Amino acid sequence: MANVKDGANTMSHGGKAVPFTLPGYKLRSGSTRDRTTVVKFMERTYGELDPQQPTGHIAATVDRFLGRETPLWWVDVDSTASSLAAPVGTIWLGQATDQRSGVLHPYVLMLYVTPEHRRQGIATALLAVAHEWAQQQGHRQISLQVFSGNQAAQALYQSLGYYPEAILLKKELDSAASETP
């Protein structure tokens, strides 16, 4: 539920107010009822990075992780013209375990802003919401993954204090042949 207090838009998720102050936009909490839109936004994310990337797995991934315990926020254009307008941005948090310390912490499952609303501060504002929420929950860290070719996202995350901690390496295996050392 969104509230306006002293000119600031605040959003409650889990009973605590999370501030959101970005002129022209408003924040709202999402829920499991937003499954279709979450899938659509994830498909856009992958499609923009690699149009040849298969997306058939996304719905099953969303079904596996979307729940009451995974906070989801949407950004809408702050307009009285239509309350049914599609969201222009989202952040969805899950949980991860720090491999070094064993600490359970919030993990950004998805951060997406539609192309026509990029470079307006929405992603930064959404990450600020996630950081504030995580701190209110008593967490001392938050993590995310970013595709190696997504230089714009990497620059944003690093400007906000994120730093590389691990490198994910991948090898495609030929299912018909086995390797011999």
CATH of the domain at 153: 3.40.630.30
pLDDT digits (tens, 9 = 90+) for 64-76: 999 989 999 999 9
Instruction: Indicate whether 166 belongs to any domain.
Output: no
Taking a C-beta distance cutoff of 8 angstroms, is the pair 144, 162 a contact? yes
Which residue segment(s) compose the domain that 56 sits in?
Answer: 2-159
Q: Distance between CA atoms of 49 and 2, rounded to whole angstroms?
A: 32
Taking a C-beta distance cutoff of 8 angstroms, is the pair 166, 133 a contact? no
Q: Distance between CA atoms of 95 and 65, rounded to whole angstroms?
A: 9
Please count the structural domains in the chain: 1
Q: What is the largest CA-CA distance in the chain?
A: 68
pLDDT digits (tens, 9 = 90+) for 159-181: 999 999 888 888 999 876 555 55
Instruction: Indicate whether 19 belongs to any domain.
Output: yes
Instruction: Indicate whether 76 belongs to any domain.
Output: yes
Instruction: Indicate whether 142 belongs to any domain.
Output: yes
pLDDT digits (tens, 9 = 90+) for 93-151: 999 999 889 999 999 999 999 999 999 999 999 999 999 999 999 999 999 999 888 99
pLDDT of residue 27: 92
pLDDT of residue 21: 80
Burial of 86-95, coded b for 16+ CB within 10 Å and e otherwise, reads ebbbbbbbbe
Instruction: Indicate whether 122 belongs to any domain.
Output: yes
pLDDT of residue 7: 37
Instruction: Indicate whether 175 belongs to any domain.
Output: no
pLDDT of residue 22: 87
pLDDT of residue 168: 86
pLDDT of residue 13: 52
pLDDT digits (tens, 9 = 90+) for 30-55: 999 999 999 999 999 998 988 888 88
pTM comes to 0.83
Instruction: Indicate whether 181 belongs to any domain.
Output: no
